[in-house]
Amino acid sequence: TSPFAWLRTRFYYLLIRLYFDQEFSIEEFTRGAKQAFSVVSKLLSQRKLDLLEELVSAEVLQVLKEKISLLPDSHRDALAADIDAIMYTTEGDVRIYYDDDGIKFVSILMCFWYLNGANLPDEVPGEAKVFQIVFGDENTKEKKHLLTANYEFQREFTEGAKPDWTITRIEHPRLLD
């Protein structure tokens, strides 16, 4: 991340703590986002979309239902991320905004890099290379792919709103395109 982007996100975290939630901690949020990413990605992989209704916005869920049904098994398997297989997590964009009715929202885009052993082709659509990592020796080598995913979490901070974060965007580049 650039120093400007890092400083900007830290400023937004300060605003969240000052004006919306004095208990907000990016470390705690990141832990929760990793857990949510792991659970949601596994449910997507297993086509258990009905279990996502409380976690994912209705609009995103509708798009996912269409895309998941068209995926080959190898791509669907590659969506699943075990929490221990998440290699790196970082925040992307942080936004604070109000809608026309004065309802306050905060959204945080999280970027995840994870290892997955799905049987993906070396080249996937879009002429993009998938990183492959081989573990073990010649007799026991195991090929894993380093994949990325972007999940946007949104929470309403209007007085009386439920204190739940909802996933409002799910992107698995090269898999769910």
* Residue 47 or 129, more confident: 47
Query: 6 pLDDT band (50/70/90 cuts)?
Result: confident
CA distances (Å), 85 to each of 34, 77, 126, 175, in order? Answer: 11, 14, 25, 18
Query: 126 pLDDT band (50/70/90 cuts)?
Result: very low
Q: Is the predicted pLDDT of residue 154 greater than 90, yes or no? A: yes
Q: Is the predicted pLDDT of residue 176 greater than 90, yes or no? A: no
Cα atoms found within 13 Å of the Cα of residue 62, Cβ hemisphere only: 3
Over residues 59-72, the pLDDT tens digits come to 999 999 999 989 99
- Per-residue exposure over 61-84, b if at least 16 CB sit within 10 Å of its own CB, e if not: beebeebbeebeeebbbbbbbeee
Q: Where are the alpha helices (DSSP H) in the chain?
A: 3-19, 26-45, 58-70, 73-78
Question: Which stretch of 69-73, 100-104, 143-147 has the lowest confidence by average pLDDT?
Answer: 143-147
Cα atoms found within 13 Å of the Cα of residue 135, Cβ hemisphere only: 8
| Residues 168/41, Cβ–Cβ less than 8 Å | no
